[in-house]
Amino acid sequence: MDGVMSADIIVIILATGIRLATPFLLAALGEMFVQRSGVYNLGVEGIMMMGAFAGFYATLQLGTPLLGIAISLAIGALMGLIMAVVSVTFKAEQGISGIGLYMFGWGLSGLLFRLYVGGVTSIDGLKPIAIPLLSNIPIIGPVLFNHNGLVYTAFLLVPLSGLILYKTSWGLNVRAVGNKPEAADTLGVSVVRIRYECLILGGMLAALAGAFLTIGQANMYADNITAGRGFIAIALVYFGRWSPWGILLGSLLFSMADSFQSMVQVLGINFPYELAVILPYLVTIIALAISYGRVWAPAALGKPFQRGTRG
């Protein structure tokens, strides 16, 4: 046992944390748009699995991870569309629809894997891209600037999402639809259309998060590959109070904690790992409890929109 946390170890924890944050960030930013429009999609986990499989299979067949990404985006859009039909057009209870979508996505990804791959198969996934010069900066260079493209994408999406949400007309529509859909409706903003768009966007980002697991991390596919990450991503949206920067903070905190606990275990410091596994969930509940969720939540969250009903 080395006893001390040397600088090296800290660099490892940080770099790992950044890598681990990526899928949470992608899925949570997507879910943020969905919830901002007034829908919550509990099916993120299922979409991630489908995205993970699609990305993996396309990469396996076509040989290039870039096509894998493209195809998983398309599949994610499709899954988002299903959720939209069920929860927006048919106005179904969103929590339950999400659970349905989760089961469907889990089942279908497993089925397709068995039918078209069957067995542990590796692929050549995304390679890290060291950003010239920047990656040579001592200590923070390797922490920040030696990752694969999806990692950079996820982090770039944070300011981009902020820009879209607060500075564009579409972002204005999303915020209006999520807070007072009947107002948006009377001004000719189609509530249905905005919610469809957000669910599709959210589906694409969730699928991308899944694809990151297969072609950016594991370089293979296995049943239940997401292992609950989708649900954490949803919780992070609440934690981050529906803002991209809050979500960034939450994702980093969460994944740094995870990376830290792995290192603690590896270094043999006596630490019950059951607690380590529970910890993220516990932290999330506590975070939800102290953030008084409702105050910040989009006012119409979870309420299907029907023209002409009283509130």
**Cβ–Cβ < 8 Å for 80, 204:** yes
Among 235, 247, 252, 253, contact with other proteins (rule: CB under 8 A): 235
Closest to other proteins by CB, 104 or 152: 104
- Work out the number of other CB atoms within 10 angstroms of the CB of residue 245: 13
294 binds ligand ATP (CB under 6 A): no
Closest to other proteins by CB, 159 or 228: 228
238 binds other proteins (CB under 8 A): yes
Rounded to whole angstroms, what are the CA distances from 156 to 29, 76, 136, 180, 199?
A: 11, 20, 21, 30, 21
Q: What is the 3-state secondary structure (H, E, C) of 195-206?
A: HHHHHHHHHHHH
139 binds other proteins (CB under 8 A): no
Rg of the chain on CA atoms, in Å: 20
Which is nearest to 33 in space by CA: 65, 69, 80? 80
189 binds other proteins (CB under 8 A): yes
Among 76, 157, 158, 175, contact with other proteins (rule: CB under 8 A): 175
Among 8, 188, 309, 311, contact with ligand ATP (rule: CB under 6 A): 309
Helix axis angle, 7-36 relative to 44-62, nearest 10°? 110
Binding mask 247-266 for other proteins (x = CB under 8 A): ------------x--xx-xx
As measured in angstroms, the least distance from the Cβ of 268 to other proteins is: 5
Among 131, 213, 215, 233, contact with other proteins (rule: CB under 8 A): 213
Residue 179 contacts which entry, ligand ATP, other proteins, none (Cβ below 5-8 A, type-dependent): other proteins
Binding segment toward other proteins, per CB under 8 A, in 55-63, 64-72, 152-160, 283-291: 283-291
Query: Rounded to 5 degrees, what are φ and ψ at 246?
Result: -60, -40
Cα(50)–Cα(203) distance, integer angstroms: 10
Which is nearest to 229 in space by CA: 28, 75, 18? 28
If 0-12 CB within 10 Å is exposed, 13-18 middle and 19+ buried, where does residue 1 land?
Answer: exposed
Closest to ligand ATP by CB, 270 or 309: 309
132 binds ligand ATP (CB under 6 A): no
**Residues of this chain that bind ligand ATP (CB under 6 A):** 308-310
